[in-house]
Amino acid sequence: MKAQVRKQGFTLIELLVVIAIIAILIALLLPAVQQAREAARRTQCKNNLKQLGLAMHNYHDTHNKFPMQSGLAVAGKQNWEAGIHRKGSTLVQLLPYIEQSALYARIDFNIDVDAWCSNAANGVRALNIPAYLCPSDTITVNTNLAHTNYLVSMGHQRMSDNGGWCANRYPGNTLGTGADIGHGTTLDMGRISGVFARSAASARMRDITDGLSNTILMGESRPNCNDHGASGWWNANSVFALATTAPINFNTCQGKPGYAANTCNAWNNWQTSMGIKSLHTGGAQVLMGDGSVHFISENIDYRNLQLLGDRRDGQVVNFP
């Protein structure tokens, strides 16, 4: 009698065990893959800031000062008011220094540059520039506009508390060098704590008496968390500046748990919304005056953060 040959193969139980093992391996590997991707995004974000730091220095070499918001210092004319005094944000001024000379040459600087760029017909309004975007961020507001994640710093400036929502919790100017009540709206750099004003004024390197390596030049920002930063990178008023007044990554982000309108956590409460923010875990990156980039922890001592934002407090702060 011929012996029967048993066919080899998986039983149902064995198949389920294999599937379970594969699922466990995927669950173990997925966080590692996500962490690796975020590490790559954070590195790219850091490289963007370094590129902007080099652009800032090259601009200063040419003009003997850092780029101003708006462009023309006209008394009584603010950069949120239409007019030919508006010549675009600091990021517009930096275009020739980040290999965007062709785009810069298209802009008509004889007219209101903010309005010209905002006109969809001119092709700038929705033009994303990779060097102005951190790949870690997710942007869901004003998606028809080209955004930026990098804003210049006015330091520990006196900041307005919109509607009294925050009970003046972070008023700013505790160092006494950023007294302008209109959150940097002045042409007098003697009233600005950091390197940039909201208006058409900026410092020179020699004005940064604390030293370039001890003063924040730019920092990360999130359009979802800042009503001013939610518009195009070309607009001098919408992308005017950030401040160190708020703690790092203070939650004013729409769609994030804990967000609440008309409170300290609102994206238009300027004492907190105009702070340095990122999607990096535990902190955010800043560009210093010497062109170096540092990661600042959310747990940094509040006073030390203000000292880093100020260009002339006379004290040196070591990064944690």
pLDDT (tens digit, 9 = 90+) per residue, 155-196?
999 998 898 999 889 999 989 999 877 788 888 999 999 999
pLDDT in tens, 128-165: 999 999 999 989 998 889 999 999 999 999 998 898 99
| Coil vs helix vs strand at 86 | strand
| Domain region containing 260 | 32-309
Question: What's the CA gap between 177 and 123, in Å, rounded?
Answer: 40
State the amino acid at position 85 in one-letter form. H
172 part of a folded domain: yes
Burial 137-156 (b: 16+ CB within 10 A, else e): bebebeeebbbbbbbbbbbb
What predicted TM-score, i.e. pTM, was given to this entire model? 0.87
Residue 19 lies in a domain: no
Do the domain assignments include residue 52?
A: yes
Flag whether 17 is in a domain: no
Q: Is residue 8 part of a domain?
A: no
Distance CA 12, CA 14 (A): 5
| Residue whose tokens read 């972070």 | 170
- The verdict on residue 316 lying in a domain is no
What is the rounded CA–CA span in Å between residue 201 and residue 187?
Answer: 5
Torsion of CA 296, 192, 217, 294, to 10 degrees: -10
User: H or E segment at 150?
Assistant: strand 150-152
Classified as helix, coil or strand, 295 is: strand
- Is the Cβ–Cβ distance between 277 and 230 less than 8 Å? no
Handedness of CA 127, 218, 162, 113 (dihedral sign): negative
Residue 11 lies in a domain: no
Rg (CA), the chain: 24
Integer Cα distance of 320 and 308 in angstroms: 12
31: helix, strand or coil: helix
The model's pLDDT over 46-93, given as tens digits with 9 standing for 90+, comes to: 999 999 999 999 999 999 999 998 866 676 778 888 888 899 999 999
Count, residues in the chain: 320
Question: Is 10 part of any domain?
Answer: no
Tell me how many domains the chain contains.
Answer: 1
